[in-house]
A and B are shown apart, each in its own frame.
Chain A
Amino acid sequence: MSSKFGLAGGIPERRVRPIWDAIDSRQFKNALKLVSSLLSKYPKSPYALALKALIHERMGKTDEALSVCLDAKELLYKDDLALMDDLTLSTLQIVLQRLDHLDLATSCYAHACGKFPNNLELMMGLFNCYVREYSFVKQQQTAIKMYKLAGEERFLLWAVCSIQLQVLCDKSGEKLLLLAEGLLKKHIASHSMHEPEALMVYISLLEQESKYNDALEVLSGDLGSLLMIEVDKLRIQGRLLARANDYSAAVDVYKKILELSPDDWECFLHYLGCLLEDDSIWKYFDNIDQIHPTKHIECKFSHLTEEMFDSRISSASDLVQKLLRDNENSNLRGPYLAELEIEKRKFLFGKKNENKLLESLLQYFLKFGHLACYASDVEAYLQVLSPKKKAEFVGMLVKNSDSFSESATKVLGQTTTILKVQELTGNIFELPVDEIEASAVKLAKLYCQNLSLSKDLDPQESMFGEELLSLISNMLVQLFWRTRDFGYLAEAIMVLELGLTIRGHVWQYKILLLHIYSYVGALPLAFERYKALDVKNILTETVSHHILRQMLESPMWVDLSNLLKDYLKFMDDHLRESADLTFLAYRHRNYSKVIEFVLFKQRLQHSNQYQAARVEAAVLQLKQNADSVEEEERILENLKSGVQLVELSNEIGSKTLRFNEDMQTRPWWTPCPEKNYLLGPFEEISYGSNENVKEDREENMKRAIQRKSLLPRMIYLSIQSTSTALKESVETNGSGSDVKIGGELKCLLEEYTKMLGCSLSDAVEMITEISQGARTSESLGSNLVDWLNFAVFWNAWSLSSHEHWHVLNSLFERLILDRVRSMGSSDMSSCYSDVQVLVQIVTEPLAWHSLIIQACTRSSLPSGKKKKKNQHSDQLSSSPMSQAIKDSIQSLCSTIQEVSSWLLNQLNHPEDEQVERFLSTLKRDEDAAGGPGQILGVLESFIASSEESEVGNRIFQALKSWNTADTTRKTVMAQQRVLREFLQICESKRKLLETLKQQMSHV
């Protein structure tokens, strides 16, 4: 517009350019100077004001920025002739968006559009505003106006997308889709259609309405030529035919695709699905939630007679045989796997072909068994086998692999594959301990023998046999689980650390180490390994679960705080910028991406991990400052007294949380963060996924987040209630506000216990019985800390009851001292899970309770500078509540002292002694037949005898730098650091309580 004439926002371009240059080079002071002189010449220019606002915002002066924006807005509204160009408005929008005042930007654009109803550029700006606000209805209305004005296809498509989004996200009536369809039809009739993306939207719209035949007609008509990649077109056609239940036609289409690309696995599955008239594969098509690998493909056969099944399967076999013949020399896995799929379907249909299935699996092994993907390729087929057949199959593999030995890499690959199959089938859990040991020793030898293969590899490249070390460590962890001999775990650490010394890029080693270190309490090392994974951007959403939980339950607050900050920053940034990218997709006419982006943003917004992290970040701040009630009040003020988080809790209750974490990368012993097999006794496990378990887990996560988000508010209310509770205990009549506080706290307690799965009165009964020893703490299950939190706030709600104080004191004593006693003199490696629970008790419920006592003490002390005791506090000193507080301080003091003593005792062992003890678990008795240390023995003797000429300089140097004792020392030091940090927290709590004790003695 105006800029065409060398004007920017009505100001000559040459005057504006230096300002932008200064902004771009971050010389904000200079920019401000320039803009001030500009404003002296053009005092009424909204554009100059917008620039000034922008500079203020960049300088971090948000209040000034907003006020200048408002001035600019006023000018725009007041002056009819003011230049309402897009440049001014979009500059304002940038600032307002950053100030979180999108609504103001929208109203400026809306006002401008009202004044200049035929200005397309302004309307696009307004449309953009609605995209940012996710107001799909208004988007639609604006787009329609633009379409009417300019008649362009793209604006119509913007409107159609906005309609689809209303139906998908706002659950608006599907009648709207009819409207969209009508608009498109009318447009096509008069103008045809010109963009492939527009056609895709049209088809998706018809599909959304289940009008598959209409969609097919469109696709096969003239418009179909818009899709230039033949296979893409056929895929859509096949899908539409299948969804329209025209299976025979769909089969032909899929056959065509397979002839064009015989390796297209998904297409083969669709082909087979259509051939067997099985629609279950389409069940997930509209389910956008499908991000996790599908291991089970459901099959439906009941509608087929045996004869029909046989004839169809035989035609599938014919096709596969043809594909195999046509691609004989190409080494494609697809057609071979297709044979397996056919055998599997036969088996599921009830044919007694288990042996044939085994035979096909073996053939596939002979052809592709050396590839790293064999095991994951056949996972779905192994799962349908009976345990007996699984074992038989492993036997077949072992027998047949020996006969194959043409190349070392092939043998290596096959051996690795067999082990992976043993893991997948659960076969490895059935083997006797000595067999597993022998097998691990064999693998270690194989690893050593084959190191020379990697001699000339670039250090960037994966080495041969790399996976063997992961497999060995998996076996060692299992041996530990079975025997409880710590040596195996120590050995697993050594094997993996050695692997990293040889090649530091193997992320699988890092993840395994991270979990072993977490288990033995060497959390700083676990965190180090996590950091070495270089988890950033979207990976923070999918990978943080490896470390987050352990960190939340640890005293490593600084690292935890950074972890949460980085993650939340990533998520918040994305949620903020996503709309801009959506608009980019609109502008580039990639309409399918518009819908994808909006749904993806919602998916991240509803991520369970994101919601949990928001709450945990707040709780962490409260934990870190719990030693000072004033500091805590400041934090609470920033948290809006916890109200926002209570709202979050309610909100979460009403929506579905999303689980975006990639659990596939977790080790076998901890398939999800809440589960760790090593904490319980040995049992045989299988890897089958269980839908119910998943659902339960999701429900539990939701409740846990909901519970935790109530904490800040309960802390706030508890502190508030103390200021009046003391008075009350003296004067016995509460004021109106106290009643309100008490009422709200009670509601939250009810809410909280509901999410623990019981009523308030049942919860009170539970904790009372445990405090009296009538029940054991096991009845609290894994939510022990939550129960204690409940007890703390329940006491805060009824501070005047001496009995409640007593229950709480005994509860703390019992739960803490039981643990300290059971840990006894065992070392950190074997009792870290107890330490984790203690850390949580001390840093949460105990911290909150101390905080409440602080608040009580503060209100009972003479206020201000008046040192003289007043009559009020005289009364207090003799009040029953004051006595209750004193008793509680005394009780907490001695309880925490016990924890400190235990920690000191651990820390007092000299480091060398601990290193020695750790190493001794790896030492083998020469005469003993088995036990830990054998594998390390193999590896160390290889290191001692290896030669540079054999393994190459790089590997040789790495091997020579290996030192078992160094790795041990690092582990021990990491364990000690955790203990020291915890001791520091305990000591600060103890000191706080001592101070309170003194203060109370003056009351």
Chain B
Amino acid sequence: MTTIRRFSCNDLLRFTSVNLDHLTETFNMSFYMTYLARWPDYFHVAEGPGNRVMGYIMGKVEGQGESWHGHVTAVTVSPEYRRQQLAKKLMNLLEDISDKIDKAYFVDLFVRASNTPAIKMYEKLGYIIYRRVLRYYSGEEDGLDMRKALSRDVEKKSVIPLKRPITPDELEYD
């Protein structure tokens, strides 16, 4: 029983129990609000009975030419509502919007190389490890750039894995 709707500022006051989880980063306000101001269709919240926040996804769409793509900045589900495929629902929504509304070529995301449970989950959702980004997280831990091709990328060119790892300054986008 999930109502998925656009995230609004007031949800920032209601996502406490989701964000107290140590893997969920609480960004500064301008970060959230920049996403809301620029890509409101990429920021959704899932609500359960009693208007409880179950989880949310935030992302954006960016890039030029064939690298025009949706990006998942954060996706998180409260421990109370885990193991119910909610992350999948939220990811599918973002993929749908990237695919159908913005006609993007692929969706990508970054994940800590050590975060095995998350990597497994993304793989199940059809993402592949496109490349490794050395010391992406605060100059310490490597990040994995994972991608999933959308319908516009007919030949699935966007997801052919790179052979060598790259450094953060080689990244096209932040």
What residues make up the interface of A, taking CB atoms closer than 8 Å to B?
A: 228-229, 263-268, 288, 290-295, 331-334, 337, 371-373, 376-377, 379-380, 458, 460-462, 505, 507, 533-534, 536-539, 541-543, 570, 573-574, 577-578, 580-582, 584-585, 588, 590, 592-593, 596-597, 599-600, 603, 660, 662, 664-665
Known A-B contacts A293-B50, A588-B38; A664 and B16 likewise in contact (beta carbons under 8 Å): yes
* Measured CA separation A293–B14 after assembly (Å): 8
* Measured CA separation A393–B30 after assembly (Å): 48
Return A250 CB to nearest CB of chain B, in Å: 17
Establish whether residues B13 and A291, one from each chain, have CB atoms under 8 Å apart when the complex forms.
yes
Chain A residue nearest in CB terms to B12: A538
Q: Which residues of chain B (1-32) have a CB below 8 Å from chain A?
A: 1-5, 8-10, 12-14, 16-17, 19-23, 26-30, 32
* Measured CA separation A290–B5 after assembly (Å): 16
Establish whether residues A228 and B100, one from each chain, have CB atoms under 8 Å apart when the complex forms.
yes
Establish whether residues A458 and B38, one from each chain, have CB atoms under 8 Å apart when the complex forms.
no
Establish whether residues A460 and B80, one from each chain, have CB atoms under 8 Å apart when the complex forms.
no
Establish whether residues B13 and A577, one from each chain, have CB atoms under 8 Å apart when the complex forms.
no
Known A-B contacts A372-B79, A380-B49; A461 and B10 likewise in contact (beta carbons under 8 Å): no
* Measured CA separation A842–B36 after assembly (Å): 48
Residues of B within 8 Å of A229, CB to CB, are 97, 101
Q: Which residues of chain B (107-147) have a CB below 8 Å from chain A?
A: 115-117
Residues of A within 8 Å of B83, CB to CB, are 371
* Measured CA separation A265–B36 after assembly (Å): 24
Residues of B within 8 Å of A379, CB to CB, are 49-50
Residues of B within 8 Å of A588, CB to CB, are 37-38
Residues of B within 8 Å of A592, CB to CB, are 40
Establish whether residues B3 and A660, one from each chain, have CB atoms under 8 Å apart when the complex forms.
no
Residues of B within 8 Å of A293, CB to CB, are 14, 50-52
Interface centre among A228, A295, A460, A534 (most CB of B within 10 A): A460
Chain B residue nearest in CB terms to A583: B37
Whether a CB of chain A sits under 8 angstroms from the CB of B48 is yes
Establish whether residues B79 and A541, one from each chain, have CB atoms under 8 Å apart when the complex forms.
no
Establish whether residues B16 and A577, one from each chain, have CB atoms under 8 Å apart when the complex forms.
no
Establish whether residues B2 and A265, one from each chain, have CB atoms under 8 Å apart when the complex forms.
yes
* Measured CA separation A616–B80 after assembly (Å): 36
Residues of A within 8 Å of B4, CB to CB, are 264
Whether a CB of chain A sits under 8 angstroms from the CB of B64 is no
Residues of A within 8 Å of B1, CB to CB, are 263-265, 268, 332-334, 337, 377
* Measured CA separation A379–B101 after assembly (Å): 39
Say which residue of A371, A380, A597, A665 sits within 8 Å of B33 (CB atoms).
A597
Chain A residue nearest in CB terms to B9: A600
Establish whether residues A593 and B37, one from each chain, have CB atoms under 8 Å apart when the complex forms.
yes
Establish whether residues B34 and A581, one from each chain, have CB atoms under 8 Å apart when the complex forms.
yes
Establish whether residues A372 and B81, one from each chain, have CB atoms under 8 Å apart when the complex forms.
yes
Residues of A within 8 Å of B79, CB to CB, are 372, 462
* Measured CA separation A377–B48 after assembly (Å): 8
Known A-B contacts A294-B50, A597-B37; A288 and B10 likewise in contact (beta carbons under 8 Å): yes
Residues of B within 8 Å of A458, CB to CB, are 115-117
Contacts A294-B51, A581-B29, A593-B36 known; 9 new A-B pairs at CB < 8 A: A264-B2, A268-B1, A290-B10, A376-B48, A379-B49, A461-B117, A537-B29, A573-B29, A665-B20
Return A344 CB to nearest CB of chain B, in Å: 12
* Measured CA separation A292–B21 after assembly (Å): 20
Return B124 CB to nearest CB of chain A, in Å: 16
Whether a CB of chain A sits under 8 angstroms from the CB of B153 is no
Shortest Cβ-Cβ A-B pairs, 8 listed:
A265-B1, A600-B9, A334-B1, A585-B37, A266-B3, A662-B16, A507-B20, A581-B33
* Measured CA separation A419–B59 after assembly (Å): 38
Can you list 13 A-B pairs with a CB-CB distance of less than 8 A? A293-B52, A334-B2, A379-B49, A462-B79, A537-B26, A538-B12, A539-B20, A570-B29, A573-B29, A577-B29, A590-B36, A596-B9, A600-B12
Say which residue of B17, B29, B40, B81 sits within 8 Å of A574 (CB atoms).
B29
Number of interface residues of B (CB under 8 A): 48
Residues of A within 8 Å of B97, CB to CB, are 229
Residues of B within 8 Å of A573, CB to CB, are 29
Return B5 CB to nearest CB of chain A, in Å: 8
Residues of B within 8 Å of A373, CB to CB, are 48, 80-81
Residues of B within 8 Å of A537, CB to CB, are 26-29
Chain A residue nearest in CB terms to B53: A293
Establish whether residues B13 and A541, one from each chain, have CB atoms under 8 Å apart when the complex forms.
yes
* Measured CA separation A372–B79 after assembly (Å): 8
Residues of A within 8 Å of B38, CB to CB, are 584, 588, 590
Residues of B within 8 Å of A596, CB to CB, are 8-9, 36
* Measured CA separation A177–B37 after assembly (Å): 24
* Measured CA separation A660–B116 after assembly (Å): 36
* Measured CA separation A728–B49 after assembly (Å): 69
Establish whether residues B29 and A228, one from each chain, have CB atoms under 8 Å apart when the complex forms.
no
Residues of A within 8 Å of B16, CB to CB, are 539, 542-543, 662, 664-665
Residues of B within 8 Å of A380, CB to CB, are 49-50
Residues of B within 8 Å of A660, CB to CB, are 13
Whether a CB of chain A sits under 8 angstroms from the CB of B82 is yes
Return A623 CB to nearest CB of chain B, in Å: 30
Residues of B within 8 Å of A462, CB to CB, are 79, 82
Residues of B within 8 Å of A603, CB to CB, are 10
Known A-B contacts A539-B16, A588-B37, A665-B17; A376 and B28 likewise in contact (beta carbons under 8 Å): no
* Measured CA separation A541–B9 after assembly (Å): 13
* Measured CA separation A264–B3 after assembly (Å): 5
* Measured CA separation A380–B17 after assembly (Å): 19
* Measured CA separation A537–B5 after assembly (Å): 24
Return A215 CB to nearest CB of chain B, in Å: 18
Say which residue of A268, A291, A331 sits within 8 Å of B10 (CB atoms).
A291
* Measured CA separation A603–B13 after assembly (Å): 11
Q: Which residues of chain B (62-119) have a CB below 8 Å from chain A?
A: 79-84, 97, 100-101, 115-117
* Measured CA separation A26–B1 after assembly (Å): 52
Residues of A within 8 Å of B34, CB to CB, are 581, 584
Establish whether residues B20 and A263, one from each chain, have CB atoms under 8 Å apart when the complex forms.
no
* Measured CA separation A956–B20 after assembly (Å): 26
* Measured CA separation A373–B30 after assembly (Å): 32
Establish whether residues B29 and A538, one from each chain, have CB atoms under 8 Å apart when the complex forms.
yes
Establish whether residues B81 and A662, one from each chain, have CB atoms under 8 Å apart when the complex forms.
no
* Measured CA separation A295–B49 after assembly (Å): 9
* Measured CA separation A228–B41 after assembly (Å): 11
Establish whether residues B13 and A265, one from each chain, have CB atoms under 8 Å apart when the complex forms.
no
Residues of A within 8 Å of B5, CB to CB, are 266
Establish whether residues B47 and A266, one from each chain, have CB atoms under 8 Å apart when the complex forms.
yes
Residues of A within 8 Å of B3, CB to CB, are 264-267
Return A587 CB to nearest CB of chain B, in Å: 8
Return B92 CB to nearest CB of chain A, in Å: 12
Known A-B contacts A264-B3, A372-B80; A460 and B117 likewise in contact (beta carbons under 8 Å): yes
Residues of B within 8 Å of A263, CB to CB, are 1-2
Residues of A within 8 Å of B27, CB to CB, are 537
Return A749 CB to nearest CB of chain B, in Å: 37
* Measured CA separation A694–B8 after assembly (Å): 25
* Measured CA separation A534–B36 after assembly (Å): 24
Interface centre among B10, B48, B50, B97 (most CB of A within 10 A): B50
* Measured CA separation A295–B82 after assembly (Å): 22
Establish whether residues B101 and A585, one from each chain, have CB atoms under 8 Å apart when the complex forms.
no
Establish whether residues B84 and A585, one from each chain, have CB atoms under 8 Å apart when the complex forms.
no
